[in-house]
Structure 1
Amino acid sequence: MRSEPPIIDPAPRFGAGPALPGPNATRERMVGLCCAFGVVAVWSGFSLSARLAAQQSLTPWDVAALRYLGSLPVGLLLAFFVGWPRLSAGRSLALVAGAAFGFPLCAYLGFQFAPAAHGVVLLTGVLPFIAALLGALVLREPFPRRRWVSLGIVAAGILLLGLGTLDAAPGAWCGDLLFLLGSLSWAAFTILLRLWRVPAMAATVVLAVYPAFLYLPVWWFALPSTLGEASAAAILHQLVYQGLLAVVVAGFLFARAVNVLGSGQTTMVTALTPALTTFAAGPILGEWLGWVGFAGVATVSLGMVSGVIAPRGTPAGMVDAPARRG
């Protein structure tokens, strides 16, 4: 059976593949790193907002509905200006299943049982490991010794973060399992971006538009809702953050970073998300870390930095090899 050709973005400014050596290689790498750090900022707020929803009289199904309602008009507007993605229905549904349904639904449900620190550790902290494993198996991406060292440091930090927060939320194992499933869903989405070389804008439009038509009828007729009991401020907050920032902004930034840096290095940067979120969870949610947790924050940050800095002599943007088509 003949495989589909790679999608070519009609607007080159959005980028469709990994950066190549040349005069713009350094600039492209900096763009990719800025996009990846932007994802860290948005994802940190995503975890805090999703956890806060449990205190706002909103069910996880309501938060998901607001996510898709908020992203739909922006996605349609983007499609109007840049064109509809030239992506098959099968590939579009696969991307939606991982990034638009698997990741957020598992997160929203998991935050009903476990605190924010658990969520960011298991949703984004383990993401480099899962993405690296899938990348090696599916894309045959190289896995240099330096990457093993970086992941080992991140693993130690995640362990410390877990030890520093588990006592505060006994019985949160159900949420933890959901978080792991969500991380696996996003890792699969990451690998598919590289495998099919999906342009950042094409992925953004697909994730912003398709889920609304698939999910909202099911939510309206079959899923439990307490939307009528929530305040207008809570609804507007989740609509804007989950729909606009978490879907459109973070979706574009993540896809752009993966196209430039590769799946391995992008997810190494996003490993900083637990550190940022756990620092903010104290004053915002009242979920404070002890000294063990803070040691984990520092260790995860160290591992992230060691994974981002390219070794001397390595061309910018070439830390990860381009995806191979099988």
Structure 2
Amino acid sequence: MTSFPLARRSALSRRTLVGVAAVAAVVCLWSSFALSTRALEGIGMGVGDAAIVRFGVPALALSPWIPRTLRRLRGERPAVIGLVLLAGLPHFLLFAWGAHLTSAALTGLLVPGTVPLFVTILLAIRGRAALSRQRLIALAAIVAGVAASAALTGGAAGPDGIAVLLTAGLVWAAYTLGLARTQLDPLGVIAVVSLVSVVAALALAAAGALPSQLFTGSIDLPAWGAYALLQGVGTGLLSTACYVVAVKNLGSSIPAAAGALSPVLTAFVAVPLLGEHVTPGLTVALVLIVSGVAAFALAPSRPPARTPF
């Protein structure tokens, strides 16, 4: 009689452990994306090279899905396809530009940290935002954190970089809305975004519009290999897979909230790795935005319904 409850508890414990391990992997992989993008200049790769590697690896890995995905695109609305494709080269270039102008800590903080805010704004514009008071307070904390990052972090190029990173957050929010409306499965989304992005990156690099060492024959193979592992395999494939595993084992709220730890990890790893500093202004911004994102993920999405008297 007691074996069934024990077996059930054991299964729940295994699911929890698997989910926690997947969340930890997601946090590390998201942090490595910000750190490796910020470190581009130091490893001798142009942004065009980084884009080719970032999207080329998943495009090759998911090539068996590409014909089926392209057939399914015929039933998609062009506006939805356009929103989904924003997650590729447009977002990557904004992310890399903002990282060049600011720091790894701000890059890892402002882009994912402001996505809930911009999603809410875009839904409000369409008249589809009904928020609970807890989520409104969480969004206010995010806004205060963005203001703190702009006012307290300092640096001559800081405001420009912050503006670029906020634009990257807005682009990712638009992609998120497109993702909710597309009929493509997750692998199909990754495949089509990677294919279009790597083709566009190759064309722009060949035309000289993106800095690239590929067409001069002076590529650093070890750097390309390391970047392919971090960005192509890590960010392009593993982070998505681990996030799906985390959601399936823990539900959606906990992984979304735990993902807010990624900027904290990025900020502290950037100290020994890139020689950056955790300033008081950055600490204030980190606390406000990370707590706001976590609170937003854990709070109820809509206000409680009023009961008639």
C-alpha contact (below 8 Å) 1:67/1:242 kept by paired residues: yes
Which amino acid letter does the alignment assign opposite residue 180 of structure 2?
Answer: R
C-alpha contact (below 8 Å) 1:35/1:254 kept by paired residues: yes
1:270, distance to aligned residue in structure 2 (A):
4.5
CA distance in 2, matches of 1:308, 1:47: 21
CA gap 1:152/1:35 in 2 versus in 1, 3 angstroms = farther
C-alpha contact (below 8 Å) 2:51/2:198 kept by paired residues: no
Gaps of 5+ in 1: 1-27, 312-318, 322-326
C-alpha contact (below 8 Å) 2:261/2:290 kept by paired residues: yes
Show the counterpart of 1:178. 164
CA distance in 1, matches of 2:274, 2:265: 14
Partner residue of 1:46 out of 30, 33, 47: 33
C-alpha contact (below 8 Å) 2:91/2:168 kept by paired residues: yes
C-alpha contact (below 8 Å) 2:84/2:179 kept by paired residues: no
C-alpha contact (below 8 Å) 1:200/1:253 kept by paired residues: no
Instruction: Verify: 1:64 aligned to 2:78, yes or no.
Output: no
1:44, distance to aligned residue in structure 2 (A):
1.5
Which amino acid letter does the alignment assign opposite residue 173 of structure 2?
Answer: A
Show the counterpart of 1:111. 99
What is the CA deviation profile of residues 6-50 of structure 1, one whole-angstrom value per residue up to 9, with x for unaligned ones?
Answer: xxxxxxxxxxxxxxxxxxxxxx9x999987775543222111000
Gaps of 5+ in 2: 1-14, 304-309
What is the CA deviation profile of residues 172-204 of structure 1, one whole-angstrom value per residue up to 9, with x for unaligned ones?
Answer: 333333222211111100011113354323212
CA gap 1:97/1:309 in 2 versus in 1, 3 angstroms = closer
Deviates further, 33-42 or 269-278:
33-42
Deviates further, 154-163 or 240-249:
154-163
- With the length of structure 1 as denominator, give the TM-score of the two structures: 0.71
Show the counterpart of 2:225. 236
Show the counterpart of 1:9. none
Choose 1 or 2 for highest CA Rg: 2
CA gap 1:295/1:155 in 2 versus in 1, 3 angstroms = same
Show the counterpart of 2:177. 191
C-alpha contact (below 8 Å) 2:109/2:289 kept by paired residues: no
Partner residue of 2:82 out of 78, 90, 94: 94
CA distance in 2, matches of 1:48, 1:240: 13
C-alpha contact (below 8 Å) 2:58/2:191 kept by paired residues: no
C-alpha contact (below 8 Å) 1:102/1:186 kept by paired residues: no
Which amino acid letter does the alignment assign opposite residue 144 of structure 2?
Answer: A
Show the counterpart of 2:69. 84
C-alpha contact (below 8 Å) 2:48/2:201 kept by paired residues: no
Which amino acid letter does the alignment assign opposite residue 285 of structure 2?
Answer: G
What is the DSSP-based 3-state SS (H/G/I as helix, E as strand, rest coil) of the residue aligned with 2:36? helix
Show the counterpart of 2:275. 286
**How well do the aligned residues superpose, as a CA RMSD in angstroms?**
3.7
Q: Map residues 226-265 of structure 1 onto 2, 5 A cutoff.
A: 226-227=213-214, 228-251=217-240, 261=252
CA distance in 2, matches of 1:35, 1:133: 30
CA distance in 1, matches of 2:290, 2:146: 10
What is the DSSP-based 3-state SS (H/G/I as helix, E as strand, rest coil) of the residue aligned with 1:149? helix
Show the counterpart of 1:24. none
1:154, distance to aligned residue in structure 2 (A):
3.0
What is the CA deviation profile of residues 59-83 of structure 1, one whole-angstrom value per residue up to 9, with x for unaligned ones?
Answer: 2122112212222211214558xx5
CA distance in 1, matches of 2:243, 2:79: 18
1:122, distance to aligned residue in structure 2 (A):
2.8
Show the counterpart of 2:306. none
CA distance in 2, matches of 1:257, 1:141: 27
1:207, distance to aligned residue in structure 2 (A):
2.0
Partner residue of 1:126 out of 100, 114, 133: 114
Partner residue of 1:277 out of 241, 266, 269: 266
CA distance in 2, matches of 1:197, 1:255: 17
